[in-house]
Chain A
Amino acid sequence: MQLYLPIADIPVNVFLILAMGAAVGFVSGMFGIGGGFLMTPLLIFVGIAPAVAVASVASHIAASSFSGAISYWRRRAIDPLLAAVLLVGGTLGTTFGVWTFTFLRSLGQLDLMIALSYVILLTTVGGLMFWEGLRAMLRSRGGGAVTLRKPGSHGWIHGLPLKLRFKRSKIYLSVIPVVVIGLIIGFIGAVMGIGGGFILVPLMIYVLRVPTSTVIGTSMVLTLVTMVFATMLHAVTNHLVDAVLALILMIGGVTGAQFGARAGQKIRGEHLRLLLGLLVLAVGIRFAVELVIRPQDLFSIRETGGAPP
């Protein structure tokens, strides 16, 4: 069934978009991530302009992270204070990200920047995850206990001033690194159309030493608020959010996520990290290949000014 998307201005097959939403939802439910880093490239691949894809995926991630956040809230797995401090940075980062997005779009280099940041971010994060997962798997196979960190070790992060006690996470931590992490996630989220969960969760675990009981729920709250905020900003400044596209994605996404979450519980943690690492790495490499090989067409056309009244 063909449907005409009002903002993207192209007809698409509803079932294709729905299936894409469900597939990405499945993956996101399985790994506990937003899945924006898969959704945005897929939309670009079916012919939707990168700018529209980035802006519309923001609202799609808002929907999936909200349903996730509700269930984590019921299980009291969200640290409200930690989420609030992260959000201070996240909001600033998102504003700056949308502004950068608008600026790059006017320069005509937005597509390149989106592709480049995907390559750098995904290959780095994917490579690290893959390596870490592989090591953890080898260690557990060797019989040794899997220790991700030593409980007593405190890095320089913990020597910073402005310390605050986060009761539910049971940590005592400076607000500076928390705000900075929020800022980074908000910025890349707005520019790249990703929720950033797959970067935020490792950062919170390894840098902030947030216990695993609250890490995913709290990161979902940050994702939720930054993506709602990004949707608003993209709608107001660039008029690029396609609500029809977003709604189809959401319906597919939230359904797929439920099945993904069930599948995820059957797989062991290290295997899950290894798989996620591979997936992230693969998407990154795909973008890299596209930049390096000679494009089929060296020329491209983009409309700059709307039709005169």
Chain B
Amino acid sequence: MRLRALLAIVGLAAAGLAAAPARAERLIVSVSNHRVTVTPNYSGGELVLFGSVEKDDKTPPNRGNYDLVVTVSGPRADMVTRRKERKFGIWINTDSRQFLQVPGYLALFSNRPFDQIASPEVQRRQQLGLNNVLLMQRVGPDFADVVPNDPFRSAFVRLRSEHGLYREATSAVTFLTPTLFRTGIPLPAEVPIGTYNVEIKLFSEGALVTKTETAFEIVKVGFEQFVATTARQNGLVYGLVTAFMALMTGWMASIVFRKD
């Protein structure tokens, strides 16, 4: 609960900052599919995000060099990063760090490198890039994020990236016209199930102009969904059915392969 409240405060603070610049532009976005279904033969896929920058009469006429950063974050969960060390001649897990409510999937896309879009200060405040995204850790009794080159944080980001679950691409957003843009959102096979938030931030001359949000969900359907929820919610029934299935298979085998 404490953490939830903390995150809410962070969220409010971010919203307050975003409201500061005058809203002269509006972002209109849509993803190609709001509901991705994971079927038995799911082996990854890609969503496409489309959008356009709508100007109104308050827009300064000479404004045109827009920069766009898209942040996709998947369902949040607690994770532990462990480090192995050599003890008594064997490699065992010794030190560990707990990451609290971090996204299971995190992708940051932009039209050009983050350091060309905004100053380091803005990059940090707007969480541009994997190095600047807030990854809350439990540090003793406190909750905090640490410096990007902290060994546990960088190992965490690296391992997630190796599985395609964390990614950063600074040329993924393409402007089709000066105001119309698109980007692909790759989803690997082991993508976590749940709701994904997509945050689109528009920058111009190093400052945030406006931002908007959309979402999509990844769901297991049919048999997978049924098996996974039954296992979690009706452990006893699930166990009984599995054990019964085992006995039936064994019995069938003894009938089929009976020698006499």
**A binding-site residues for B, Cβ under 8 Å:** 1-4, 6-7, 9-11, 59-60, 62-71, 108-109, 111-112, 116, 227-228, 231-237, 239, 241, 243-244, 246-247, 250-251, 254-255, 257-258, 291-295, 297-308
Contacts and interface: CB of A to CB of B under 8 A. Distances in A.
B86 to A, nearest CB: 8
A302 B246 contact: no
Given A109-B92, A241-B238, A244-B227, 12 more contacts: A6-B228, A11-B41, A11-B42, A112-B93, A116-B90, A232-B239, A298-B91, A300-B82, A302-B82, A304-B79, A308-B76, A308-B101
B9 interface: no
Given A231-B239, A254-B250, A299-B152, A59 B96 contact: no
Contacts of B246: 59-60, 62-63, 66, 227-228, 231, 246, 250
Interface in B41-61: 41-43
A285 to B, nearest CB: 14
Which of B228, B235, B246 has the most A CB atoms < 10 Å from its CB? B246
B249 A254 contact: yes
B231 A235 contact: yes
Given A304-B79, A307-B77, A6 B249 contact: no
Contacts of B40: 3-4
B176 to A, nearest CB: 34
A4 B224 contact: yes
B244 to A, nearest CB: 9
B240 interface: yes
B15 interface: no
Contact of A2 (B41, B156, B224): B41
Nearest to B195: A307
B63 interface: no
Given A307-B104, A308-B101, A243 B79 contact: no
Nearest to B240: A232
Contact of A11 (B43, B194, B243, B258): B43
A226 B4 CA distance: 43
Question: Per DSSP, are chain A's interface residues mostly helix, strand or loop, or mixed?
Answer: helix
Contacts of B155: 298-299
A70 B78 contact: no
A70 B236 contact: no
A136 to B, nearest CB: 29
26 contacts: A3-B40, A6-B228, A63-B253, A64-B250, A66-B250, A66-B254, A70-B251, A71-B258, A108-B80, A109-B92, A235-B238, A236-B236, A239-B235, A247-B249, A254-B250, A254-B253, A294-B86, A298-B91, A299-B82, A299-B84, A300-B84, A300-B159, A301-B80, A304-B79, A305-B77, A307-B75
Interface residues of B, number: 65
Interface string B222-260: 011101100110011011111101110111111001100
Contacts of A295: 84, 91
B205 interface: no
B38 interface: yes
A219 to B, nearest CB: 16
A291 B90 contact: yes
A122 to B, nearest CB: 16
Interface in B142-180: 152, 155-156, 158-160
Given A4-B41, A70-B250, A231 B81 contact: no
Contacts of B242: 59, 231, 235, 241, 243, 246
Contact of A243 (B158, B232, B241): B241
B243 A7 contact: no
Contacts of B98: 304
Nearest to B82: A300
B190 interface: yes
Given A235-B238, A239-B232, A304-B78, A294 B91 contact: yes
A112 to B, nearest CB: 5
B103 to A, nearest CB: 10
10 tightest Cβ-Cβ pairs between the two chains A and B: A235-B239, A66-B250, A305-B78, A254-B253, A299-B155, A67-B250, A6-B227, A62-B246, A63-B246, A232-B239
Contacts of A6: 220, 223-225, 227-228, 231
A305 B77 CA distance: 6
